[in-house]
Amino acid sequence: AQKVTQAQTEISVVEKEDVTLDCVYETRDTTYYLFWYKQPPSGELVFLIRRNSFDEQNEISGRYSWNFQKSTSSFNFTITASQVVDSAVYFCALSEANNAGNMLTFGGGTRLMVKP
């Protein structure tokens, strides 16, 4: 069975600080996909990134970066120089390639509060 754990339920930082959101996953499949989504107060989930299990290269997109380590089953997300607009709930998710409907299994989320 697949499982995603986000141990940090809530993080509070001051603007311009760097912050890392942790994600640990469990799966028996060798082929799977990992995701990060942002959920602002409006409710919709905003896609941030998708990685497949064969690509362990770290990725950087502006102030966002992701560290994928299969050895520790982790897919952590770092925001550099945080801004107030980064305040939201962030979800890590996993999808095993062999499931027919591309079902996403989400972690419990991390609420990030960035104070001015």
Residue 68 lies near another protein (rule: CB under 8 A): no
Nearer to another protein, 68 or 91 (CB): 91
- Give the shortest CB-32-to-another protein separation in angstroms: 11
Q: Given the rule CB under 8 A, which of 21-29, 55-63, 76-84, 107-115 is the region that contacts another protein?
A: 107-115
- Give the shortest CB-81-to-another protein separation in angstroms: 27
- Give the shortest CB-18-to-another protein separation in angstroms: 24
Question: Could you give the CA distance from residue 47 to residue 102 in angstroms, rounded to a whole number?
Answer: 15
Residue 61 lies near another protein (rule: CB under 8 A): no
Nearer to another protein, 50 or 70 (CB): 50
DSSP string for residues in the chain: --EEE---SEEEEETT--EEE--EEE-S-SSEEEEEEEE-TT---EEEEEEETT----EEETTEEEEEEGGGTEEEEEESS--GGG-EEEEEEEEETT-TT---EE---EEEEEE-
Sites of contact with another protein (CB under 8 A): 4, 6, 33, 35, 37, 42-47, 50, 91, 93, 95, 99-109
